[in-house]
Structure 1
Amino acid sequence: MLTPFSILLVLLAAFMHAAWNALLRGGADRSQSMAMMNATLGVVGLVLLAIAGLPASASWVYVVASGVLHWVYVALLVVTYRSGDLGETYPVARGSSPALVALGGSIFAGEWMNLLGIIGVGLVCAGIFMLAAAKGRLHAMNLPWALATGVSIAAYTVVDGIGVRASGNWLGYTAAIFAFFIFVPLWFLAKSGFAFFKAPANEVGKAVGGGVISIAAYGAIIWAMQASPMGAVSALRETSVVFAALLGAAFLGERLTMQRIVACCIIAAGAVCVGWH
């Protein structure tokens, strides 16, 4: 089970994760913002790796797998945010992952769900359907891409949950994962040249800030997964859907309808049930 300190840390990580997604969603050019954000992640990852040292060799295969899965996640996230509000796409992408993480934890780490966990899965699915149907936009929003993003989230979470336990060095493992992100801006650089990274100072600030917040948020999650069930950590983290809806309404001009509020609460309740199964 999660300790009280772990619960507070994961909740803080949930807020931070919603915050950097809001920064990305509010960027003028999301592909450019994501490239600069990933440049920040890669640089910080390399610096931390020099400080913390390499994780145990037994975890290297998980580092590589996680790095590749994170590349897939980044690509899907950019596509997802090209249509659909943060308050709709973010909860679908994030809310669909706890059940998948709990299933992966059961299969690969023997962390089996009980009845409460199954109820939680049902609540998450119901909340996702309600949120996707908000304002009658179930077919208009980018639902398949948002769900694909959720699958990628679940995949890298399970890989990291197993990998960090084999690493013997959670900070080194975290740093190694984020060092992989340096290849994303290098790809943009090779494709479009330095002109791609020319942006107003406020956009650069958003992207760099989002990168720093992102690595802090996920680093907290990796730390928590050292000794806590992956499904529990992932489920509690996905209460970030509530923060995302609030941030979308406060800073991005998105409507916070009663249906969205109820749907986010249902997803959050389901996530908590999965986490405490």
Structure 2
Amino acid sequence: METPVFLAVMAAAALHAGWNALLKIGLDRFLTVCLIQIAAGAVALCALPFVALPQAAAWPWIALSALLHVGYNVFLSRAYQYGDLGQVYPLSRGSSPLIVALLSLPLLADSLPQGQWLGLLVLVAGIWLMALRGHHPTAGLSAPMLFSALMTAGFIAGYTLSDAIGARNNQDALSYSMWLFAVNGLVMLGVVATSRGPDAFLRLGPHWRGGLAGGALSLAAYSIVIWAMTQAPVALVSALRESSVLFALLIGSLWLKEALPPIRLLACGLILAGVLVMKLA
């Protein structure tokens, strides 16, 4: 991976951790997720006059990705009901790169050299380790949280692969990402209206500033990732993106006052080692 692409993905990781941190301060996790995605769609809508219309081959992947994002949002918000940011984020984000790596070869003809596979596995091991608390591997990990986090990982892998294929078919990453977010925002509007009723929008109103900030961060982070997936192997981009758990750990510790046990510091070392191996391999 070329250095500019590498640095762009790392910047996207920091932005992604930022908008996920906003989920933990909302009164209603599901509505907070929806608000952020609707706001991202509104920002993207403003950009549509300045980007091209996606090619016909990209539209099925935009539609599929929007549907997969609904599942992702539902299970992510559920996971945050049962665990803190420092647990849910690494479990959900750390499990998806392996799925992406295994499926990207048959679906996209992407392959990784052995050195990058080693770095990916070390990074994923570090991410999983970060979810553990104290000295007992299962401390604080409830079954509902594990299920929701792993389901979230499955949806992440699904929309990652869908968007990689769609953006490559479209041959214009910016056009693809703006239209994807615009469509996704409309879908989430429908989800909120159907599941919570019109009164839900009154509850969202007072939080529009936080939603807009989160939506802008989400839009910027994933647009960078979509572009990077047209420049480098999807599995590599997916794995490096999940180094965002380092930024999430920092946010959780300094802003949300979550515990920072030694085992998570060890996990940081593994993640950094994995990132370094993937960059140098």
Whether contact under 8 Å (1:124, 1:268) holds in the other structure is yes
- The answer to whether the aligner puts 1:143 opposite 2:131 as a matched pair is no
Pairing 1:4-153 to 2, within 5 Å after superposition: 4-135=3-134, 136-139=139-142, 142-153=145-156
Higher mean alpha-carbon deviation, 57-66 vs 195-204, is at 195-204
Taking the aligned partners of 2:208 and 2:157, their CA distance within structure 1 comes to 29
Report the CA distance between 1:230 and its aligned residue.
Answer: 0.7
Whether contact under 8 Å (1:131, 1:260) holds in the other structure is yes
Taking the aligned partners of 2:279 and 2:60, their CA distance within structure 1 comes to 27
Whether contact under 8 Å (1:231, 1:275) holds in the other structure is no
- The answer to whether the aligner puts 1:266 opposite 2:270 as a matched pair is yes
Partner residue of 1:176 out of 179, 188, 199: 179
Taking the aligned partners of 2:275 and 2:246, their CA distance within structure 1 comes to 11
Whether contact under 8 Å (2:132, 2:264) holds in the other structure is no
Partner residue of 2:197 out of 193, 199, 206: 193
- The answer to whether the aligner puts 1:165 opposite 2:165 as a matched pair is no
Specify the alignment match of 2:219 in structure 1.
215
Higher mean alpha-carbon deviation, 38-47 vs 246-255, is at 38-47
Name the SS for the 1:198 alignment partner. Answer: helix
Name the SS for the 2:253 alignment partner. Answer: helix
AA matched with 1:148:
M
Are residues 3 and 247 of structure 1, via their aligned partners in 2, closer, same or farther at CA, if it must alter by over 3 Å?
same
Whether contact under 8 Å (1:94, 1:238) holds in the other structure is yes
Name the SS for the 1:266 alignment partner. Answer: helix
AA matched with 2:12:
A
Taking the aligned partners of 1:168 and 1:114, their CA distance within structure 2 comes to 25
Taking the aligned partners of 1:142 and 1:63, their CA distance within structure 2 comes to 29
Whether contact under 8 Å (1:20, 1:210) holds in the other structure is yes
Taking the aligned partners of 1:151 and 1:173, their CA distance within structure 2 comes to 22
Specify the alignment match of 1:205 in structure 2.
209
Whether contact under 8 Å (2:83, 2:141) holds in the other structure is no
Higher mean alpha-carbon deviation, 104-113 vs 187-196, is at 187-196
Specify the alignment match of 1:247 in structure 2.
251
Report the CA distance between 1:222 and its aligned residue.
Answer: 0.9
> Among the aligned pairs, what percent are the same residue?
36
Taking the aligned partners of 2:52 and 2:165, their CA distance within structure 1 comes to 19
Report the CA distance between 1:272 and its aligned residue.
Answer: 5.3
Taking the aligned partners of 2:182 and 2:213, their CA distance within structure 1 comes to 17
AA matched with 1:185:
L
Specify the alignment match of 1:235 in structure 2.
239
Give structure 1 stretches of 5+ with no counterpart: none
- The answer to whether the aligner puts 1:224 opposite 2:228 as a matched pair is yes
Give structure 2 stretches of 5+ with no counterpart: none
Name the SS for the 2:82 alignment partner. Answer: coil
Higher mean alpha-carbon deviation, 27-36 vs 14-23, is at 27-36
Name the SS for the 2:260 alignment partner. Answer: coil
Taking the aligned partners of 2:220 and 2:236, their CA distance within structure 1 comes to 19
Are residues 8 and 190 of structure 1, via their aligned partners in 2, closer, same or farther at CA, if it must alter by over 3 Å?
same
Are residues 21 and 218 of structure 1, via their aligned partners in 2, closer, same or farther at CA, if it must alter by over 3 Å?
same
Taking the aligned partners of 1:133 and 1:141, their CA distance within structure 2 comes to 16
Taking the aligned partners of 1:17 and 1:147, their CA distance within structure 2 comes to 18
Name the SS for the 2:81 alignment partner. Answer: coil
Higher mean alpha-carbon deviation, 44-53 vs 157-166, is at 44-53
Whether contact under 8 Å (1:235, 1:274) holds in the other structure is no
Whether contact under 8 Å (1:235, 1:272) holds in the other structure is no
